[in-house]
Amino acid sequence: PPGPRKRFPVAAVDAILRDVLGSCLREQPYEPARCREMVKDIAEVIKARVKDLMIPRYKIVVVTHIGQLNEQSIQIGSRCLWDPVSDTFSSHVFKNASLFALANVYAVYFE
């Protein structure tokens, strides 16, 4: 079956995630209202930068989470229809003194 001619560049997207999360959140203290806005802005910036890579025929889904870094843990799961041959994802976790952030980029190939 025909698949993508150009593979999704996971390493390049990993670098985007590291850069965006680090530059946006490095000095940011955890403030619920501010983080609620930032999570949307960060997802938009990531999506725009991934789209700038001009990867043909991939639908890009960006999901970001920001939470308070405290003496607790969190588990985040996701499910979707997936073709392991052509679909892929990139993920990065960022932490500073008071918060954590998780950004996932899902790349789903369309024939």
Per-residue pLDDT tens digits for 18-77: 999 999 999 999 999 999 999 999 999 999 999 999 988 999 999 999 999 988 788 888
What digits encode the pLDDT tens for the residues 55-69?
889 999 999 999 999
Query: What is the pLDDT of the chain when averaged over all its residues?
Result: 92
Q: Is 50 helix (H, G, I), strand (E, B) or coil?
A: helix
Phi (first) and psi of residue 9, to 5 degrees: -80, 80
Model-level pTM? 0.90
**Alpha-carbon span 81 to 76, nearest angstrom:** 17
Edge-to-edge strand list for the sheet holding 58-68 = 58-68, 99-109, 88-95
For residues 80 and 31, the answer to whether their CB atoms sit within 8 Å is: no
Domains of the chain listed by start with CATH number: 10-109 (3.30.1140.40)
